[in-house]
Structure 1
Amino acid sequence: MNVFAVPGLPEVRPGDDLAALVEAQADLRDDDVLLVASTVVSKAEGRRADLEDFPAGPRAREIAERLEAISGEEKDPRFAQAVLEESTEIIVEAPFLLTATKFGHVGVNAGIDRSNVGGAGDGEASDDGADLLLLPERPSESAARIRENLDSDPAVVVTDTSGRPFRHGQRGVAIGWAGIPASRDWRGEEDRDGHELEVTVEAVVDELAAAANLVTGEGDGGLPVAVVRDWEFGDHEGSDNLYRDVDGDFVRQALRGWEFARD
């Protein structure tokens, strides 16, 4: 399998055709997997916003005051309001906001980004005052649109970066996909000792997103798109179930009853 970043993409602006921009720089094949960072998808879909778009309500002000008291750093209640409006649930309110987005992803601050917002085309603040970048509203639909507009027929995965419970650091994850199942199911197959696998379901879109993140990077490199080539899904059953059902998400249920307490 080969993984490579697509160089030469311009600053993406609202209304841009991401498929055309990518195909101008890369010779894609039908069996490729195209991985596109959510930042450029959001920019093309006009998901940049200004803090002034989110006048803070009472709960947002309360959350900001608590986080400010914990961290000793000033917190803008308008940002808390943006997180509230982009979320279906605030799972943890302190010492940070862990939320469930409207499309099912769980992450910090509803995935709202305050870096690489872009707009001016020179790496500085945007030219329209926008200082927030919201995640795509429906990332799998975004992936499907990109795929439909390509001349070739690769699978498309929209990626983001997020932290992991129990580990330091961030890694790439999939938040939307088209043309590929989210996971491949090994259940019913046998291991080398002849034991039947009972629980192994491999989240391949997350693994591909993490591989892409190795070549696209996290800083100012300007490489938001990667291609995975010569990888095969294999002869497995596939599933689009990536996000756990709330009723079976025991970690989420435990966190709902957890309260942050400073020493």
Structure 2
Amino acid sequence: MELTPVTDLPEIRPGDDLADLIADRAGDTLADGDVLTVASTVVSKAEGRTADLADYPVSGRAQEIADSLGELAGEEKDPRFAQAVLEESTELLIEVPFLLTETRFGHICVNAGIDRSNVPEHDLLLLPKQPSESAARIRDGLTERGYEDVAVIVTDTCGRPFRHGQRGVAIGWDGMPASRDWRGEQDRDGRELGVTVQSVVDELAAAANLVTGEGADGVPAVVASDWAFGDLDGSDELFRSVEDDLIRQALRGWEWEGGT
């Protein structure tokens, strides 16, 4: 597999056509059968998902959260940010020492994925409302420009339980299944695989993140070439349901007991 960053993209503004901008700069790098990963930051900017703290009148709940986090951190926390997180979430899984939430499209992450960096002229950058629909629009735009079979993944970075650091993950996709199912296949010793379902959209997002970079050096789009899904069953299941998510069930009964 070859990973090629799409460089020289301009600062993205609301209403910008990402498919057109990417196709113009990718040139011959992008071909039918490739996978295009696009950072959620530029998708959000193109969709006008910026906001200011003044847009969020503070509820009593947001004030309580900000007060609790501020007391723990030893510094004042802005309740307007807590309000923004509440409005972008369907469930608050952890309130202290940080806000772990479920977004409206099913992704679980810190602070509803709201970003406060690289947002010129605004305070906040929200995640796309429906990232898979965003991926479909970009893919449709590429199809109109002659790319008949390019899958699109919208990516973000987030932390992982039990490990330090962040890595790229898929939050939306179109044109390919989210995972490939190895159940029923055999290992080298002839044993049948019973549980292995490979999240290929996450793995492609993580691979792309190696070349996109972070902070001021970030490149928001990457072309993955010479990669094939293979002759396996696929599925679009990525986010666990509450009934199947033992960790979420445990968190619902968990309480912070202090410490660092």
TM bin, normalised by shorter chain, reads over 0.9
What whole-Å deviation, never above 9, does each CA across 1:44-93 have from its counterpart, x for those lacking one?
00000000111110000000000001111221000000000000000000
Which residue, out of 126, 137, 144, partners 1:134?
Answer: 126
Residue identity in the other structure for 2:17: D
Could you say which structure has the higher helix fraction?
2
**Partner of residue 214, structure 1:** 210
Quote the residue 1:20 is aligned against. 20
Q: Percent identity?
A: 70
From 44, 47, 50, the equivalent of 1:48 is 50
- Report the CA distance between 1:243 and its aligned residue: 0.3
What does residue range 26-65 of structure 1 map to in structure 2 within 5 Å? 26-27=26-27, 28-65=30-67
Name the TM-score, length of structure 1 as normaliser.
0.95
Aligned equivalents of 2:141, 2:219: Cα separation in 1: 21
Give 3-state SS (helix, strand or coil) of 2:256's partner: coil
* Cα distance change of structure 1 residues 244 and 148 upon mapping to structure 2, 3 Å threshold: same
Q: Which residue of 1 aligns with 2:166?
A: 170
1-structure distance, mates of 2:238, 2:11? 31
**Are 1:8 and 2:8 matched, yes or no?**
yes
Distance 2:254 2:53 in 1: 29
Within a 5 Å distance, the mapping from 1:82-97 to structure 2 comes to 82-97=84-99
Structure 1 runs, 4 residues or longer, greater than 6 Å off? none
User: Quick check: 1:185 aligned with 2:181?
Assistant: yes
Q: Which deviations, in whole Å up to 9, do the C-alpha atoms of 1:7-40 show, x marking residues without a partner? A: 1000000000000000110021111100000000
Partner of 2:150: 154
Task: Write out per-residue CA displacement over residues 197-249 of structure 1, whole angstroms, 9 at most, x where no aligned residue.
Answer: 00000000000000010000111114111110000100000000000011110
* Matched residue, 1:116: 118
Matching residue's letter, 1:3: L
Question: Who is 1:204 aligned against?
Answer: 200
Q: Give the Å deviation of 1:253.
A: 0.6
Structure 2 unpaired stretches of 5+: none
Question: What is the identity, as a one-letter code, of the residue corresponding to 1:141?
Answer: E
In the comparison of the two structures, how many residue pairs are matched? 253
TM-score normalised by length of structure 2: 0.96
